[in-house]
Amino acid sequence: MQPHLLLDVKRTIYSHTNPKATKTLVFIGGIHGNEPAGIYGLQHVIAAICKHKLELQCNLYALAGNLNAIQKNIRYETTDLNRLWTHENIQKITSQTTFNSQEEKEQAELHECIQDILNTHSGTFIFIDLHTTSSETIPFITISDSLKNRAFVSNFQLPIILGIEEYLDGPLLTYINEFGYIALGFEAGQHEDPEAVKNCETFIWQALMAAEALTKHTIEPLNVLPKNFLKVKNLGTFYEISDRYHLKKEENFTMKPGFKNFDTIQKSQEIATSNSTTINANVSGKIFMPLYQKQGDDGFFIITEISTFWLKLSSMFRTLNLHHVLRILPGVQQDKSNANALIVNPKIAAFLATKIFHLFGYRKKVLKSEKWYFIKRD
């Protein structure tokens, strides 16, 4: 990596509009400043598009996330820019001109940029947020479980993790998803691994093909695709989060060395230490996003594969709009201020496992005054 090359990165790295386009792709790189691979990947692809004068059948935007943190090669200065996208914060940053932190200022600029794009175009919007991880990993995709997202990610032969948003407060993609746009996160590899840049490039080209902005026949003869065209074998497609180790303030957390993302682990296996106490796995599965850096809120997740049966069943339930059934159950109420939200009293509806809400397309579970709030995706 050559961080000095990123010193003059602008908020809008590139924009291309095509008046006939029905799709708009928005790529975001470096929302975490210590993850420059996405920006390098975007720069390489854009250079090739310009050099070969490729005619894109889409509107295309490449945006940079945390400009200040990118220059300093740190995840963030004061707060994580990818944890600020709650309605309360957005209300705040759009109604004030002075900001409490560098990240609030960055968020206000990025928000304005995204709003401009949404106001300029119509049709389908596809948002892709490019990241890397602190541990070694094969590339993977994270999405909120909407049918639109599922359809778009079926173009990629990569592991797909559903519903990590339920464990994170205020990631950008959750905010985007709530408007019903396609939104996916791509994790390209370890922060400093040069392969992560190549993986980003490959993924960006693949996304352009998946959105029918370019054809395979146009790209292949140009020799612009890195040789490691992504194909991750021996891994199931869809995973869900089965467990999470969330860090408390001032906790002295250390992962045991040597875990790679997606390594298989057994229940009770030693995973980490916290203030010199051993932490064991609560369930068997695969280790996911083990924390090997200082900044971060989650020590690790454990993921398990989702069956094809469940995926098909949930897709059928949603297509048939069967979610109305949930509202007649005891302890479940429609939120009057949000047609897509259900309020659940956990004391009455304890028999309804979170998994059932997932089946009907409800994902985000928030606890507010002792009630659960589930928001429907599609």
As measured in angstroms, the least distance from the Cβ of 265 to Zn ion is: 23
As measured in angstroms, the least distance from the Cβ of 38 to Zn ion is: 9
CA distance 40 to 203: 13
Residue 24, number of CB atoms within 10 A of its CB = 24
As measured in angstroms, the least distance from the Cβ of 172 to Zn ion is: 10
CA distance 110 to 99: 14
Question: Which among 38, 347, 296, 356 has a CA at the least distance from the CA of 167?
Answer: 296
Phi, psi of 315, deg, nearest 5: -65, -40
**Cβ-based nearer residue to Zn ion, 34 or 149:** 34
Residues 335 and 304: beta-carbon distance below 8 Å? no
CA distance 270 to 267: 9
As measured in angstroms, the least distance from the Cβ of 140 to Zn ion is: 13
**Cβ-based nearer residue to Zn ion, 189 or 361:** 189
As measured in angstroms, the least distance from the Cβ of 50 to Zn ion is: 27
CA distance 104 to 100: 7
Residue 113: CB partners within 8 Å, gap ≥ 6?
A: 11, 12, 63
**Cβ-based nearer residue to Zn ion, 32 or 148:** 32
Question: Which among 365, 358, 343, 356 has a CA at the least distance from the CA of 150?
Answer: 358
**Cβ-based nearer residue to Zn ion, 29 or 361:** 29
In the complex, the residues that contact Zn ion under the rule CB under 5 A are 32, 35, 131
Phi, psi of 112, deg, nearest 5: -65, -40
**Cβ-based nearer residue to Zn ion, 121 or 131:** 131
**Cβ-based nearer residue to Zn ion, 300 or 372:** 300
**Cβ-based nearer residue to Zn ion, 186 or 372:** 186
As measured in angstroms, the least distance from the Cβ of 51 to Zn ion is: 29
DSSP label of 227: S
87-94 and 102-120 helices cross at what angle (nearest 10)? 90
As measured in angstroms, the least distance from the Cβ of 297 to Zn ion is: 12
Q: Which helix (H) or strand (E) holds 163?
A: none
Residue 35: CB partners within 8 Å, gap ≥ 6?
A: 29, 75, 130, 131, 132, 191
CA distance 257 to 131: 22
Residue 56, number of CB atoms within 10 A of its CB = 18
CA distance 157 to 231: 6
As measured in angstroms, the least distance from the Cβ of 340 to Zn ion is: 27
**Cβ-based nearer residue to Zn ion, 59 or 66:** 66
As measured in angstroms, the least distance from the Cβ of 69 to Zn ion is: 11
**Cβ-based nearer residue to Zn ion, 58 or 143:** 143
